[in-house]
Amino acid sequence: MTTAIPLPQTLIKRLEKLSASSRLTPQSIVKQAVTDRLDYEEWLLARVDAGIENADAGRTYSREVMLKKLGMSSGRKKTA
């Protein structure tokens, strides 16, 4: 399937410049860019869904525990 997607002239110029300075065709650059972005978005959605599942199942950390795991302080001073 081939689909035409309009691009702003600024992106077309950047694409042409990159293509001219590499051994890649504009089509292969766009195809790889779209593939990379789709892979990332699918990965991100899967991680978000997994996080929601963990939260729904009660598998969470308190703020204090998380800060400790990250080696950070809570920024709060203890009072006597």
**pTM of the prediction?**
0.73
CA distance 69 to 73: 10
pLDDT in tens, the chain (80 residues): 889 999 999 999 999 999 999 999 999 999 999 999 999 999 999 999 999 999 999 999 999 999 999 999 877 666 65
CB neighbour burial string for 10-23, b if at least 16 within 10 angstroms, e if fewer: eeeeebeeebeeee
Q: At what angle do helices 9-20 and 26-56 cross, to 10 degrees?
A: 110
